[in-house]
Structure 1
């Protein structure tokens, strides 16, 4: 393993009513042990999964707006309020990696353009802005992700079609198996968190707890919709 444990220091936490400590899952957190190469954070919007992932990225030295350790640029409200209260336990410590933040990826792409042609080589040699959103994500995964590293991804499905999500799973699998990489991914996609032999951590119900694939609300709603589409739509659309 690379990152083995995430600890939130209670004695250093801000008042419980202050964000992000007002989020129930963060408030109840003490330690998370990571036992698999791939860990998924799942839960409703506002449940704390992206907040924790951003804090981890900041402690790793990655730009909390998105990027690696050497990507320095500013985006409004990109500073993590949680990182100073987190402690990460490594074995061994790895400094190589990347934080993908889907909502600010446009700013990251602009930053890479400003660095010039030499930097673009690490992203396929073509401006990320000159590719579709999905193509630019895959270009990042295929070209920038390499070597023993930790990758923190916040909603990578935002730019990926279902077919491209399957392509991403293949890329991730090769990185895990051949490059000894570790992934922590916050996602709403049942396709992505269907990756085998991964840990799924739910942030719902005011706590962070391990769950299985079929028990996640995302899976259950998606399956019910696909199995009973007409009835489902009738129930929610009819007065």
Structure 2
């Protein structure tokens, strides 16, 4: 199911919406690297800005931004967009919806990743709701202030797990070839490793998901939120997943 471009087709665009810095790495970093390997162009939107702690207060905002850029570079991300919405004061306003609609209409992704709908973290659930609503808004003829023409329906919309593993999932992606890249990207967040051994955590979760889904290896699992049949070859104007 994972893949980038079809022979003779254009580049597949993938959009990943992350509530916080590093959620994209934890939730679907292996799949991002796999898309990039297959020739796709991946854009990451990080909605909420950094929340300082006593363990990393000495890290400047510029240094933390450099960690985010290093993680994106490790995965091969084409572009990383930060909304820098306030943590714990984050609200689902019209403005932030339109900000995401604007990105959706610009990127015009065939594949979209977002947090799954039942994560324990309230801001993860809010970003799930934000993305689902923005996808509808981006496809409509309304909200012209966001600019751009309506978005065609993405071929695939997947919910990933971060804080709370999903009790049920519909799809597992083999990331055996990308697990070291995922761990390397997580290790770029040096300040976050002071809180917990997230690099060991992402490896362990992927190992567990590999065992659950196929008996061995490494995997990421997803909630399938939308799956649209690709157009027939004669009508296809863009990339798709294999």
Fold-level similarity (TM above 0.5): no
- Largest Rg, 1 or 2: 1
- The TM-score, its normalising length taken from structure 2, stands at 0.31
Whichever structure has more helix as a proportion of its residues is 1
